[in-house]
Structure 1
Amino acid sequence: MLKFPIKNQQFVGPICIAVICIVLWIIEPLSSEYLALVRSELPRTHWWQFITANFVHTNTNHLLLNLAGVLLLWVVHGEYYKISNYLFNSLVLSFWVTFGIYIFSPTLSWYAGLSGVLHGLFVYGACKDIQHKIKFGWLLFVGIWVKIGYEQLFGADQMISDLIAANVAVDAHLYGALGGLSLVLMRIRLKQG
């Protein structure tokens, strides 16, 4: 726990995600115009937004918050990362989050940001801790669900909304966390089968 995972397989995946987000931020506003999730443009014309929306951000603060999340998750759970596994999980969670928004959150007409994916990676890492009999994993697992429950009942902190200059898409956090749990259950099932 809190060891710095410094093997290539442990940090290359997070660096790839961070670089993608930074490059897309550099070419703003063009990247958000074409890559953010715009409900009216889906699913026939701009289907790539199901993935790309997660890698664009509303402003520098939004980007920095999500990059801090990538870093924090790498420090806490990087020992479980392998390049292909991390990138696969990130892509699956990206689709899962935006598809969830598209199907179950019809009032959300625009979406950008990595926080839903980060919630999924958080749940995935907490479950890996639990599988490795690390008791702190239970605290992380319960804590994330309490946070998500609070957001679903009371909404996001207004200070964060002001900081990122957008409403926090709390539903994305829920869909990401459910996606992370689904990835864990799928891997358990594949090992048993």
Structure 2
Amino acid sequence: MLFNFSRFPIAKQHSLIVVCIALLAILAHFLTANSQDYLVYQRELISQGQLWRLLSGHFLHTNGYHLLLNLAALTMLWALHGHFYNLKNYTSIFIGTALFCSLALYQFNPNLIQYVGLSGVLHGIFVWGAILDISHKEKTGYLLFIGVCLKIAYEQLYGASAEVMSLINADVAVDAHLWGAVGGLLFSLIYLSYSKKKPVTQQK
């Protein structure tokens, strides 16, 4: 089963950071257009030294539908893997994946001038959760990991659905999904390696 209600992630350490990210995205959506222009991932302005855009752009969305889709995905991932979350590891995976995704887009996708949205980061968090499932001997982790890989492969070959593009009133940056997933995979390997090396303290 995907959900184990006995460990449903309602505790503060599992949910607080997710709520904070959701609130930041909602707040960013209601900023004035001028304020949003100061935060969006914009390639030319990043090249001029406005590096905060590598992170802040992920909190902005093209319209309300785009925001709601990403908030729904954020919530789904919390329900699915929130029992793994704490303030330290979730903050690390979120910021690490966001920066990796933005830097990869900047380096390898020069034609992408502007980007907004949480979806790239969410793909990385999805991968991280699936890898942790696998490391905990949960068979659903393999299904989730294969599923997200197939989704990304399909998008790379055929692009995103026209319905989604119409809904969010913008092209879907499928390469952001790819780089977000790669960032999540790299972070997962580092995280698991660190966890194995961390000494276990005995409690008396």
TM-score band w.r.t. shorter chain: over 0.9
Q: Which has the larger radius of gyration?
A: 2
Q: CA deviation at 1:85?
A: 1.3
Partner of 1:129: 133
Q: CA deviation at 1:44?
A: 3.1
Partner of 1:76: 80
Q: Are the counterparts in 2 of residues 32 and 57 from structure 1 also a CA contact under 8 Å? A: no
* Residue 138 (structure 2) pairs with residue 102 (structure 1): no
Partner of 1:10: 14
* Residue 53 (structure 2) pairs with residue 49 (structure 1): yes
Partner of 1:149: 153
- 1:66 is paired with a residue whose SS is helix
Cα distance in 1, alignment partners of residues 196 and 20 from structure 2: 31
TM-score scaled to structure 2, two decimals?
0.91
Q: Are the counterparts in 2 of residues 161 and 167 from structure 1 also a CA contact under 8 Å? A: yes
Q: CA deviation at 1:31?
A: 3.8
Partner of 1:189: 193
Q: How much identity, in percent, do the aligned residues show?
A: 42
CA separation of 1:106 and 1:55: change in aligned 2, threshold 3 A:
same
- Consecutive aligned runs of 4 or more in structure 1 exceeding 4 Å deviation: none
CA separation of 1:150 and 1:31: change in aligned 2, threshold 3 A:
farther
Cα distance in 1, alignment partners of residues 83 and 196 from structure 2: 23
Q: CA deviation at 1:30?
A: 3.0
List aligned pairs for 1:155-170, cutoff 5 A.
155-170=159-174
* Residue 181 (structure 2) pairs with residue 177 (structure 1): yes
List aligned pairs for 1:30-41, cutoff 5 A.
30-41=34-45
What is the identity, as a one-letter code, of the residue corresponding to 1:53? G
The Cα RMSD (Å) is 1.2
Q: CA deviation at 1:192?
A: 4.7
What is the identity, as a one-letter code, of the residue corresponding to 1:37? Y
Q: Are the counterparts in 2 of residues 126 and 137 from structure 1 also a CA contact under 8 Å? A: yes
Aligned residues: 193
Cα distance in 2, alignment partners of residues 117 and 164 from structure 1: 17
Q: Are the counterparts in 2 of residues 31 and 56 from structure 1 also a CA contact under 8 Å? A: no
TM-score scaled to structure 1, two decimals?
0.96
Q: Which one of the candidate residues 99, 104, 117 is aligned to 1:113?
A: 117
Gaps of 5+ in 1: none
Greater alpha carbon shift after TM alignment, 82-91 vs 178-187: 82-91
Cα distance in 2, alignment partners of residues 133 and 32 from structure 1: 43
What is the identity, as a one-letter code, of the residue corresponding to 1:61? Y
Partner of 1:67: 71
- 2:38 is paired with a residue whose SS is helix
